[in-house]
A and B are shown apart, each in its own frame.
Chain A
């Protein structure tokens, strides 16, 4: 590439980079560093941070438990309607989270399709509880785990599993000693992605679980609320979320890109 064409490409790429980079720079620039500790230590903020960390980790763990069998079936079982199921699994990625929250309400709400049975039969009320927060987060995060793991399964050389079986490994042993270790990088990448998605969840959570301080108010909800009263607090809390997200990206490095594209 000639220097001139290189310069042109650079000039064209700059606005995009600026669009993503400038707000982050502004966040750091405008942060009230002197009050940071004080704002973070506020009871509401700490409770929201704790709820966010715990609920997102539980949600990530749930995506693994629910998503691995789903990814397995999608990658290994040829059945009619597999494409349809894939579209359904992918839907939460593109669905407006608020709609997801409404859908969750009519399914799992107190008078919802399934919720009424849970409520009356088991006394299990999900909406406006921490469990509801986890459910909403799992709903939006599951596709990331399934798609990443399915890609990993498809890339796995199944002949290695054949080799294991000829050496005397039962199906369960093959899964535990060959498939799972080989799948671990994809699974870890998927879990980290879904965790990050769960951590940032806003729309579905506020719709389905509400915004009860100390009970269902996650960090993103706290940021939104703080913005109306104490914008400086919102900036600091946002920076915490940014920091966590960056940490995830650095931890994953290139792998998540490979996992999704493959």
Chain B
């Protein structure tokens, strides 16, 4: 690969040992997701050159940015990289305009020209009227837009975004999320760190899931959503994930028990059960559904016109069921207590682990 990003990053920061391979084509948006402490921000800092690699190699657009084997290492200011920091880190002593013009000035662009281009970026992000304001007087949403403009203004080949929407309130987040997609278009590579699944699904061409400093899964957002390979990803995309051993017509679950699922295959498997395929009953269900368990209703969460109920099972990870709000009321699920859950065997998706 010559035009895009090709990175193998090994780095150590405190307890964390990061060991990640990351490739991206020109124009591609890669979302890096994972739980807190997985090493997402560390990965971005390493790519930006703010922390040294202990091993590995970073190549961007045919240029070797860093190679631990040879000791070659471009300092951050010489990399075609811009980083949007999680807490923005706008320069407090500069106006919004001068913040955005900062990178251009460092590139040797004349003051007037840099100011003109900075103003254009501020306008494009809808904060042109705040050009003269100091960061301390900006709202969270405005500051985030200025921070984005500051990084975009240097037109980096590799744009790194660390939780660009995390610090915003719900409204500002929704507004900026809509605008982010066109801003991310372009010939460069964009790497987006987020813990917001919606943002990842909307913005990313590809998803990389990081846990404990390692990639546990990567692929197109759809693929990852359909075939989660870790409980964290399953929760991220809102499905139940069960691990076990395939026995043709069902799965022998790792935590004990049997999950009927035709065509389960053989060998280690993962089974995905969508919450919609899980039904909840107050009485033992009639008929003969093949997957029936007894559990306790633990928590109810309303999602628009649906409700999600978490049912604790003895000695097994809980199952999440999706029901109507009316069912929550009818079955008094919010009060807890014993319930039976059933899973239709035909709605279990099984794939090799």
Contacts and interface: CB of A to CB of B under 8 A. Distances in A.
Contact of B83 (A166, A170, A182): A166
Contact of B102 (A159, A162, A177, A182): A177
B62 interface: no
B92 interface: yes
A165 B106 CA distance: 9
B271 interface: no
A162 B88 CA distance: 12
A165 B77 contact: yes
A169 B77 contact: yes
Contact of A166 (B48, B91, B93): B48
Interface in A145-184: 157, 159-160, 162-170, 173, 177-178, 181-182
A178 B91 contact: yes
A127 B89 CA distance: 50
A177 B102 CA distance: 9
Interface string B130-152: 00000000000000000000110
A95 to B, nearest CB: 37
Contacts of B45: 162
A168 B107 contact: yes
Contact of B89 (A163, A177, A181): A163
A102 B217 CA distance: 72
Interface in A99-130: none
B154 interface: yes
Contacts of A168: 77, 103, 106-107, 154
Nearest to B48: A166
A157 B87 CA distance: 12
Contacts of A177: 102
Contact of A167 (B75, B92, B103): B103
A219 to B, nearest CB: 37
Q: Is the interface of A mostly helix, strand, loop or mixed?
A: helix
Interface residues of A, number: 17
Contacts of B151: 167
Interface string B49-93: 110000000000000000000000001110101110100010111
A182 B76 contact: no
A244 B107 CA distance: 46
A164 B82 CA distance: 10
Nearest to A165: B76
B: interface residue count bin: 20 to 34
Interface in B233-279: none
Contact of B82 (A162, A166, A178): A166
Given A167-B150, A169-B77, A157 B89 contact: yes
Most A CB atoms within 10 A — which of B81, B85, B93, B151?
B93
A182 B85 contact: no
Contact of B91 (A160, A165, A170, A173): A160
Nearest to B78: A168
A162 B51 CA distance: 10
Interface in A12-27: none
Nearest to B86: A159
A159 B50 CA distance: 10
A196 to B, nearest CB: 26
A169 B102 contact: yes
B97 to A, nearest CB: 14
Interface string A65-103: 000000000000000000000000000000000000000
B121 to A, nearest CB: 13
Contacts of B77: 165-170, 173
Nearest to A182: B93
Contacts of B150: 167
26 contacts: A159-B89, A160-B91, A162-B45, A162-B76, A162-B89, A163-B83, A165-B49, A165-B75, A166-B49, A166-B76, A166-B81, A166-B83, A167-B77, A167-B82, A167-B150, A167-B154, A168-B77, A168-B106, A168-B154, A169-B77, A169-B102, A170-B75, A173-B106, A178-B91, A181-B93, A182-B93
Interface of A: 157, 159-160, 162-170, 173, 177-178, 181-182
In the A-B complex, the 8 residue pairs with the closest CB atoms = A167-B103, A168-B106, A165-B76, A163-B89, A166-B83, A181-B93, A169-B106, A168-B77
Given A165-B49, A166-B48, 18 more contacts: A157-B89, A159-B85, A162-B45, A162-B50, A162-B76, A163-B83, A163-B89, A165-B50, A166-B76, A166-B77, A166-B81, A167-B103, A168-B77, A168-B103, A169-B77, A173-B77, A177-B102, A181-B93
